[in-house]
Each structure stands twice: as structure tokens, then as C-alpha cells.
Amino acid sequence: NTDRAKLMKEAENFLTNCYDELGYSMTELNSRVNQVNEEISSNGFYAHTTEELKHGAKMAWRNSNKCIGRLFWDRLHVIDARGTKEENAIFEQLFNHISFATNGGKIIPTITIFDPVIPGEDPIRIWNHQLLRYAGYETEQGVIGDPDSITFTKVCLELGWEGNGTAFDLLPLVIQVGNKQPMWKEIPEEIIMEVPIEHPTEPIFGDMEVKWYGVPIISDMRLEIGGIQYCAAPFNGWYMGTEVGARNFADENRYNLLPLVANNLNLDVQTNRSLWKDRALVELNLAVLYSYQQHGVTIVDHHTAAQQFLAFENKEIQSGRDVTGMWSWLIPPVSPATTHVFHKRYENKVITPNYYYQEKPFI
């Protein structure tokens, strides 16, 4: 039928590119294509070899148009967790991802790949946006914690989780197998690495204790390889400082810390022309980079990240591949025009394998 014909086409396209990149002969490619043909025509599905899965996940990173960190696409550590079906075993794999990727602060870009969507089998979904993230609570006195987490925090509370009501409560992991009751578990604190944020010279937060978690692990995107959908495939890299310093801490609808920092720096917040927001933003980002470095947790500044992206662009051209990108996400939110990215154009062509948004499993 058409679905199987569509899947066969996507499979053949992926296998051709993948086997070419891995240096296989046409004979080896053709025999694999025939084998996959058989599998699809009899089951409407085909299973990737571990090698295809690993290279496919790397190709997907290389094709991620919004990612400035793609220079290291070929050094992704891929954990093949297919066949993990039992909830407790899934939690164990997630805890292992956190500790392995954290690696004492010397972060290892890692992806753990669970079973794809298989016709007639229960799909696995991770309900968290990121494995490590802080809760958000709406109270009469205003929002406590991360406003971006308010909805998911309510879901966790409804599932029976209880937070401590602080601005930095780490949320539990929530997973669901098929349409079964979602299960949640607290992350063991011994595998969690957090960084207390401080400025090298000024007490920019006054007496407020500010911290952030070390490793960003995206857990709600779908990895598509050769027509196969992996809906539970959490992946991490390391932070670019501006993500924490210019967005998570600075956005008015996030932690909104610029007024606090500006006041502690004695800036004139009564007029825009003092550029108090800009000066507070730079000191806040400096504090983030300094603190991660002091605590031995990998982080990259936006200038270095842009230079690495330029190296990626050149490497891709050497490899005979077009560089695709989404300009609006590739420019950093601090001093964008000081990077080469700002001054050139990128074609936002979406090619697979890739990582995609998927609709939330909860409302």
C-alpha cells in the first residue's frame, strides 16, 4: 500500500546516503536495500542495525538547522536502548544517561534511543521537555521558579509528586508506555550536577541564591531516520552560556533577573539610555560562564561557538554537502552582529534524518 511504498522510499534514501558515508560498496547497499524491502512488505516496518541507528542519529544532529553546535556531530555517543520496555528499566536508562553524559562535568554529547513507534506495539513517551529542569508554581505572590514549567509542574502534582516550593525544585522524570498510567520518579540527587551562579567580582544577585543545572538534555523531540520514528530519544550537548544567561535568567517570562542585577550594579534603571539592561545582561552572562568554568562543567561562550560553527560550515563544504540553517536561531541573543553568522544567509531546507517537535502527550 502507499504507506509501505512511502516507507520504502524513505528507507532507500537513508540507506543510500548512510552506506555511502560509511564507505560500503554498491553490492552491500543493494543487498541491505533488498532485505529492508522484504521486511517492509511483510511487516510494514523495518529495524535499523545498530550501526545504521548510530550514524542516523549523528546525521540528524548534522541536519539540525537551529543548532550552532554541529561541528561535533560525528562525535555523538549513541546508546542503543531499544528493547527496554519495562518502566523501571526505562528510568534506569534515563538515570544512566544523566550520569554518563555529565561525566563529572566534562560533558559527553550523548543520545539514548528507545524503541521506535512499531505497528501494534506500545510506544514510549517521555513527558519532560528536558530530563533536568526546574518547577514553576503560580501563587498569589506571583510565579515561583521557571514560568516555562508551570503546566508540566501541575501535571506532576496531579500525578502525586510534591515539590518543595522553591525557585529551583528539580522536576521528577515522567514516562508513559502506550496508554498506561504515566509513571514518575525523582532523580537520585547523587547524579545531579548543579552550578551555583556568581559574578567574579560583584555580588550581582544580592542575597538571592541563583543556580542552574549543568547538562541540558532534550527529551521531548522525535528522531526520524529513514522513515522510522523514535519518539523517545533524549539527547544532550553542553550549554552555550547565553542560553542560561540571556534567556533562562533574563527573559521577563522566565527568571526575569535583569532588574535585580541592574540594581545590585547601581545602574540607572529609570532610563533606557543608560543601557542598564545591556550592561546587566553582559555581567549576568559573564557570571554564568565564570561559574560553570569554576565548577568544571563544560560550557561554551557564544563567540567560540560561532567560530566552531564556521569550522563546521567549511568542513561540510569540504565534504561536498550543503550547509542548511535557520538564521534566526543560529545568531546568539547577546551581541549577535559580532559573529559571522549575523552577516550571512542560510537556507532553511529541512532534510532527514532530523529531530522534530511532536505534540505534547499531556494537555
Ligand X SMILES: N=C(Nc1cccc(CNC[C@@H]2CCCN2)c1)c1cccs1
List residues with catalytic annotation: 67, 70, 238, 243
Nearest Cα to Cα of residue 3 among 39, 40, 37, 35: 40
Sheet architecture: strand order including 222-225: 228-230, 222-225, 354-356
Among ligand X, ligand HEM, none, what binds residue 61 when CB lies within 5 to 8 Å by partner kind? ligand HEM
Q: Are 332 and 68 in contact (CB under 8 A)?
A: yes
Residue 68 found at the interface with ligand HEM (CB under 6 A): yes
Give the nearer residue to ligand X in terms of CB position, either 214 or 227: 214
Answer for which of 56, 182, 237, 241 binds ligand X (CB under 6 A) is 237
Least distance to ligand HEM, CB of residue 26, Å: 29
Q: 3-class secondary structure for 199-242? A: CCCCCCCCCCCCEEECCCEECCCEEEECCEEECCCCEECCEEHH
Answer for which of 79, 90, 94, 111 binds ligand HEM (CB under 6 A) is 111
Residue 94 found at the interface with ligand HEM (CB under 6 A): no
Give the nearer residue to ligand X in terms of CB position, either 177 or 240: 240
Among ligand HEM, ligand X, none, what binds residue 81 when CB lies within 5 to 8 Å by partner kind? none
Residue 329's CB: how many other CB atoms inside 10 A? 14
Least distance to ligand HEM, CB of residue 361, Å: 17
Using the structure block, give the residue that is written with the C-alpha cell 550549554.
239
Nearest Cα to Cα of residue 94 among 183, 164, 178: 183
Nearest Cα to Cα of residue 52 among 27, 78, 85: 78
Residue 216 found at the interface with ligand X (CB under 6 A): yes
Residue 213 found at the interface with ligand X (CB under 6 A): no
Least distance to ligand HEM, CB of residue 257, Å: 18
Residue 145 found at the interface with ligand X (CB under 6 A): no
In 107-227, the DSSP E strands lie at 110-113, 124-126, 136-139, 142-145, 173-177, 183-185, 194-196, 211-213, 217-218, 222-225
Among ligand HEM, ligand X, none, what binds residue 170 when CB lies within 5 to 8 Å by partner kind? none
For residues 313 and 292, what is the distance between their CA atoms, to the nearest angstrom? 28
The interface with ligand X within residues 94-123 (CB under 6 A) comprises none
Sheet architecture: strand order including 183-185: 124-126, 173-177, 183-185
Answer for which of 90, 155, 187, 240 binds ligand HEM (CB under 6 A) is 240
Helix (H) or strand (E) holding 155: helix 150-158
Residue 239 found at the interface with ligand X (CB under 6 A): yes
Give the binding range for ligand HEM (CB under 6 A) out of 141-149, 173-181, 237-245, 309-317: 237-245
Residue 136 found at the interface with ligand X (CB under 6 A): no
Answer for which of 218, 269, 282, 351 binds ligand X (CB under 6 A) is 218
Residue 301 found at the interface with ligand HEM (CB under 6 A): no
Nearest Cα to Cα of residue 54 among 79, 71, 36, 35: 79
Nearest Cα to Cα of residue 152 among 126, 113, 178, 177: 126
Kindly list the residues in this chain that would bind ligand HEM in the complex (CB under 6 A): 61, 64, 66-69, 72, 76, 109, 111, 235, 237-238, 240, 243, 300, 305, 329, 355
